[in-house]
Structure 1
Amino acid sequence: MTYSICMTDGTRHGTAIATKAPAVGGLAPFLSPNGVVCTQSIVNVPLGPKAARLLDGEASIDDAIPTLLRKDDNASLRQIHGVDTWGNTSTFSGDECVDWFGSQTGSAGQTTYTVAGNMLEGEHVIEAVATEFASAVDSSKSLPECLLDALQAGEDAGGDKRAGTAQSAALKIYDPEDPRLAHDLRVDDHEDPVPELQRVYESACEDDEAWEDEFPGAILQRTL
C-alpha cells in the first residue's frame, strides 16, 4: 500500500508519501532541481534516480517516465508519477497493480500536482489527498504544511485497504531559496508514521530556528 503526492510551483518541488512497508523515504521519492518523481507499487527503485537524472538534463517528466518504463520488463507491476519545473505531469499505473489503484493530476494557483496510490480502500483516498492539498495551498500555508496535511487526509480517508494505516512516511522538498533541515524528513518504521512525521517536522523547525538564532544570516547548505 502506498499513496503519495508530487508538486511543483515552477521553482520549488516537493513530495510526501506513506506506505505499509519500512523506509519508504529511501525507496520511492526522488528530487531534482527540475522536478520530483515517486516510484511505488512493486517498486523498481532505479526508476526514481534515473528519472531524476533525466530531469537534471532538462528532459520533461512526460518524456522521462515513458522512456524508462519501455525498458522495464515488469512495467505492468509499477506505479510512478511526478511533475517537472515546466509544469508537465506524468502518471502511470500498470494493470497488475493491486486494487484500488489509480492517480489524478490537478492545479491550485501556480502549483501543479499529481497524486497516486495502490492497494487503497478506494479512489476517495487520493481524492482526499488532492482536495486537502489544493485547499491548503489556497490557505497560504507553508509548503511542508500543505504536503503533510494532504498526507494526513489520505490516512483519514482510509488509506490501506488492509489495515488503514501506514508503516513509514517521508517528506522531501527542493527549495533553492530555503534549504532547511525540515525539508528532508523520514519516519522509517512506526505504528502511526504520518502523525509522527508531523512531529518530526515540528522538531526540525525548532532546530532550524535555533540554528538561525545562533548563527544569524547563516544558510544551511543542502545540495542534490
Structure 2
Amino acid sequence: MTFSICATVDGSHGVAIATKAIAVGSTAPFVCRKGAVCTQATTSTPLGVRAVRALEAGATVEDAVESQLADDPDAAVRQVHGVDAGGDTVAVTGSECVPVAGDLEGEGYTVAGNMLESADVLAVMADTFESSSGEPLDRRLLDALRAGEDAGGDKRGEHAQSAALRVFDPDDPRLAHDLRVDEHDDAVAELERIHDLATTVGNEWEEAYPRANVQRYPKRNSQ
C-alpha cells in the first residue's frame, strides 16, 4: 500500500511517501518545527495532527506517537513512524498490517511500508538515504523514495499512484517543500519532476530578488 521515509538533518525535518492510492499527501505526512511523523496502513490523519502538536509542545517523538496509539482501538492496523528534532526515532507497525509490512530505524531517520513487493524495499531506502550524506534533505528523501519504487514498491502495481514530499526548514522557508502528486500513472517520477521545477524556479527567484520575501521563524525560548 505505502512506503515512506521520515528524517531530520541539521534542524530540518521531512517526509517522503508514495502509495497505490490517491492523494496521500493530504492525509499521511506531517512536519513541524520539532520533527516529522507519517501515518499509513489504515491512515489516521487526526493521529498525525495530534502527534505533531505533541512534538511542538515538547514531547519526544516516541511519546507523541505511542501516547496516540495507546488509546487507539485500531492500533493493530496502523503504521506510524517519525523523528524529532533531537534525532530520536519511533516506528510502529501494527500486528494486523497487510504483509509485507515492516519498519527500520536509523540515525535520524525511519522507513516504513506495508503491502510491499518485498522487505528489500525498506532496506534499499535506508541504504540510499545513508549513502547520500551531505546532500540536501529534500534530495535525500526523494532519492530514497525512488530507490524504494525501483526495488518493487507497492505489490499492487508497477508504479505508485500518488506521492508527496514535505520538508520543514526552520531557518529559511525557501528551502522547504510541500509537494504533492495526487493521482498519476507514475507518481514518484512526477514528484521528481515537480521538485526539480520548484528548485529551478526557486533558484531563479533568489537570483532576481536576493533575500526577498524571506521570513525566518523566531526562535522559541526553551521551556
TM-score bracket for the superposition, by shorter chain length: over 0.9
Identity percentage over the alignment?
52
Q: What secondary structure is seen at the aligned counterpart in 1 of 2:180?
A: strand
Q: Please tell me whether the aligned partners of residues 99 and 115 of structure 2 are also in contact (alpha carbons under 8 angstroms).
A: yes
- Tell me the residue number matched to 1:130: 126
Q: Distance in 2 between matches of 1:134 and 1:155?
A: 17
Q: What secondary structure is seen at the aligned counterpart in 1 of 2:138?
A: helix
Alignment of 1:86-165 (within 5 A): 86-107=86-107, 112-137=108-133, 140-165=134-159
**Number of corresponding residues:** 217
Q: TM-score normalized by structure 2?
A: 0.93
Q: Please tell me whether the aligned partners of residues 182 and 204 of structure 1 are also in contact (alpha carbons under 8 angstroms).
A: no
8-17 vs 119-128, which deviates more?
Answer: 8-17
Q: Please tell me whether the aligned partners of residues 102 and 117 of structure 1 are also in contact (alpha carbons under 8 angstroms).
A: yes
- Tell me the residue number matched to 2:18: 18
Q: Please tell me whether the aligned partners of residues 17 and 151 of structure 1 are also in contact (alpha carbons under 8 angstroms).
A: yes
Q: Which runs of 5+ in 1 are unaligned?
A: none
Q: Alpha-carbon deviation of 1:175? A: 0.8
Q: Which runs of 5+ in 2 are unaligned?
A: 218-223
Q: Please tell me whether the aligned partners of residues 182 and 201 of structure 1 are also in contact (alpha carbons under 8 angstroms).
A: no
Q: Distance in 2 between matches of 1:46 and 1:125?
A: 27
- Tell me the residue number matched to 1:82: 82
Q: What secondary structure is seen at the aligned counterpart in 1 of 2:173?
A: coil
Q: Please tell me whether the aligned partners of residues 20 and 156 of structure 2 are also in contact (alpha carbons under 8 angstroms).
A: no
Q: Alpha-carbon deviation of 1:10? A: 4.9
Q: Distance in 2 between matches of 1:191 and 1:120?
A: 18
Q: Please tell me whether the aligned partners of residues 10 and 86 of structure 1 are also in contact (alpha carbons under 8 angstroms).
A: no
Q: Alpha-carbon deviation of 1:182? A: 5.8
- Tell me the residue number matched to 2:220: none
Q: Alpha-carbon deviation of 1:213? A: 2.5
Q: Please tell me whether the aligned partners of residues 171 and 216 of structure 2 are also in contact (alpha carbons under 8 angstroms).
A: no
Correspondent of 1:199 among 164, 170, 193: 193
Q: Alpha-carbon deviation of 1:9? A: 2.3
Q: TM-score normalized by structure 1?
A: 0.93
Q: Please tell me whether the aligned partners of residues 179 and 219 of structure 1 are also in contact (alpha carbons under 8 angstroms).
A: no
Equivalent residue letter for 2:151: A
Q: Please tell me whether the aligned partners of residues 83 and 89 of structure 1 are also in contact (alpha carbons under 8 angstroms).
A: yes
